[in-house]
Structure 1
Amino acid sequence: MVFEKVAEILAETAAEVIEPRFRALAAGDVVEKAPGELVTVADREAELIIAERLRGLLPVPVVGEEAVSVDPSLVEAVRTEPAVWLVDPLDGTGNFVAGKGDYAVMAALVRDGEAVAAWIWQPVCGVGYAAEKGGGAWRDGERLRRAPAGDGPERWRGAVLGRFLGPEMRAVVTEGARGFASVTGGSGAAGVEYPRVAAGEQDFTLFWRTLPWDHAPGSLLVREAGGVSARLDGDPYRPGRNVEGLLVAADEDCWRQVRERLLGMAP
């Protein structure tokens, strides 16, 4: 019951305060919360609503992106509390501000530092994704099973969200990308990129910044669909460990070969 209710909360909140502002933001509705980081009135209102409703389902701390931007110490709850809700009320805010539909609303339940349930709602598409540790991944109630990439790297399609790459790593990735069929700059939203890998629309995605609300939902979704989400040292993604670099791929062989060919890292 709780599992289905979270999906409803995300969709209902999006309909109430996010979708009415899409391509209709007023003057003053958008501010810069940090250099290059936008936040809108929709982000903030949605997080307050989602947090209150999630606490009504399970009264544990809520770690939301916008609350952490005000009080960074709140993120410590992911490591110290037995259970927390993670909330990204509007993933892809830059796209939302620009009138692009690649944005999502996301949440995850974390127990003992590991995501055990996850939800992603894409308002423009009207598509919902969910995953439960050991219970599978789902798109609109249908089971997602990611097929292996197959066919070899020269036929694989991927994305590199390179905004936070340093110049040296950017040069390495630019050169390595030549060995694949296609490597794009991605959508600019984790809540779009992870479902693309889970659903077989692309074979891999490289992220560099790894904030927990961005990656806990999608990492669980991909893993439960049969894919891989791991740090560059091979450790499976856990939201309590905030280090740079996260590679998501269709399967173990794809992950290893992308790591070697795209990043120049020894097997």
Structure 2
Amino acid sequence: MLMEKVAEILAEASAEAVEPRFRALAAGEVMEKAPGEVVTVADREAEQIISRRLRELLPVPVVGEEAVSADPELARSLHTEPAVWLVDPVDGTSNFVAGRPDFAVMAALVRAGQTVASWIWQPVTGTAYSAELGAGAWRDGHRLTCPPPAAEPEKWRGVLKSRFLDPAAHHRLRANARAFDHLDPGRSSAGIEYPLITVGEQDFILYWRTLPWDHAPGSLLVSEAGGRSARLDGLPYRPEAPGCQEGLLVAADPEQWERIHRILLDGDSPA
């Protein structure tokens, strides 16, 4: 019941606060919350709706992207509370503002520091993804399993989100990534990018900055679909307060994850 109810909450909040403003934002409805980062009235209203309704389902703290922007201490709940909700009301706000369709509405439930359930709603396509720890991943109610990757790294496609790395590390990663078939620039929305792995459109993604509301939903989705989402030291992903730990490699297959890690981080030959 919880899985279905949260999916309904995200879709209904999107229909009320987000979708009517897509390509229809009025003057004054887009603000800069930090240098280079924008927020809209849709983000704030959707988060308020989702947070209130999630607390009605399970009365635990809600760590929402916009709430943390106003009160950074709220993110400490991830480490101090036995359970918290994570909410990203519009993942891909820059796309939303520009009228591009790559944005999503996301939530996750975290218990004892581990993501146990997650939801991704893609409003433009009307596609719902969900995952439950130990129980699997779904797209529109159908079980998801990551397709097996090609055997040769030369055929693998991926995304490097290395904007926040220092120049030397950025250059090294880009040089090592020449071993792969193709690097995509990404979609500027984790809620769009993670599902691409589960359907075989991408083989891997390397993220550096890993804000918890961006990555908890998709990491669980990929893991429950048979892939692997892990920190660069190999430990499984767990959502952390912003700035606590960075770097995350996501791949469609655990063995493939190891090979990608060796090629990207260590510069090993793909052979």
- Indicate the TM-score class for this superposition, using the shorter chain for normalisation: over 0.9
Percent of matched pairs sharing the same residue: 65
Q: CA deviation at 1:252?
A: 1.6
Output the CA distance in 2 between the equivalents of 1:150 and 1:158. 13
What residue in structure 1 maps to residue 24 of structure 2? 24
Q: What is the TM-score normalised by the length of structure 2?
A: 0.96
Matched AA of 1:21: R
Is the CA contact 2:231–2:237 (under 8 Å) kept in the aligned structure 1?
yes
What residue in structure 2 maps to residue 189 of structure 1? 189
Output the CA distance in 1 between the equivalents of 2:83 and 2:260. 34
Matched AA of 2:258: R
Q: CA deviation at 1:258?
A: 1.3
CA RMSD of aligned residues (A): 1.3
Is 1:95 equivalent to 2:107 in the alignment? no
Q: What is the TM-score normalised by the length of structure 1?
A: 0.97
CA deviation string 1:9-61 (max 9, x = no partner): 00111111101111111111111101111111100000000000101111111
SS in 1 for 2:233: coil
What residue in structure 2 maps to residue 45 of structure 1? 45
Is the CA contact 1:106–1:120 (under 8 Å) kept in the aligned structure 2?
yes
What residue in structure 2 maps to residue 152 of structure 1? 152
Is the CA contact 2:149–2:253 (under 8 Å) kept in the aligned structure 1?
yes
What residue in structure 2 maps to residue 244 of structure 1? 246
Count residues with an aligned counterpart: 267
Q: CA deviation at 1:265?
A: 5.8
Taking a change above 3 Å as real, the CA distance of residues 265 and 60 of structure 1, as seen in their structure-2 partners, is: farther
Matched AA of 1:122: Q
SS in 2 for 1:151: coil
Is 1:77 equivalent to 2:81 in the alignment? no
CA deviation string 1:87-130 (max 9, x = no partner): 00000001111111000000000000000000000001110000
Unaligned stretches of 5+ residues in structure 1: none
Unaligned stretches of 5+ residues in structure 2: none
Is the CA contact 2:149–2:252 (under 8 Å) kept in the aligned structure 1?
yes
What residue in structure 2 maps to residue 59 of structure 1? 59
Is the CA contact 2:211–2:240 (under 8 Å) kept in the aligned structure 1?
no
Output the CA distance in 2 between the equivalents of 1:96 and 1:175. 32
Output the CA distance in 2 between the equivalents of 1:141 and 1:204. 24
Deviates more, 1:232-241 or 1:90-99: 232-241
Output the CA distance in 2 between the equivalents of 1:74 and 1:265. 39
SS in 1 for 2:32: strand
Matches within 5 A, 1:93-242: 93-240=93-240, 242=244
Out of 237, 257, 260, which is 1:258 matched to? 260
